[in-house]
Amino acid sequence: MTIVAKAGVEVTVSGLDNISTPVVRAETSLGGEPVVVYAMLLASADSDTEARQRNNLLERIADRIGEETVPVAVIGEIGASQWSHAFRVLAGHGTLTDSSPGNGFQGTSPGGAWIGLRVPTQHLLFTDSLTTTDRHLGPDLGHGQSILVGTLAHSAG
Domains of the chain: 12-154 (3.60.10.10)
Amino acid found at 39? A
* Integer CA distances (angstroms), 22 to 7, 14, 106, in order: 25, 11, 23
Task: Give the predicted TM-score (pTM) of the model.
Answer: 0.78
Helices and strands of the chain, counted as H and E runs: 2, 8
* Rounded Cα–Cα distance for residues 124 and 31 (Å): 19
Spatial contact of 71 and 40, defined as CB atoms under 8 Å apart: no
Given this model, what pLDDT does residue 72 score? 93
Q: Which residues contact 13 (CB under 8 A, 6 or more apart)?
A: 3, 24, 25, 26
Beta carbons within 10 angstroms of residue 120's beta carbon: 19
One pLDDT digit (tens) per residue for the chain, 157 residues: 455 555 555 565 655 555 556 778 888 888 888 999 888 877 777 888 888 888 888 888 888 888 899 999 988 877 777 778 887 888 876 688 887 766 666 655 555 555 556 666 778 889 989 988 888 777 766 666 667 778 888 988 6
- Between the two ends of the chain, the Cα-to-Cα distance in Å is 32
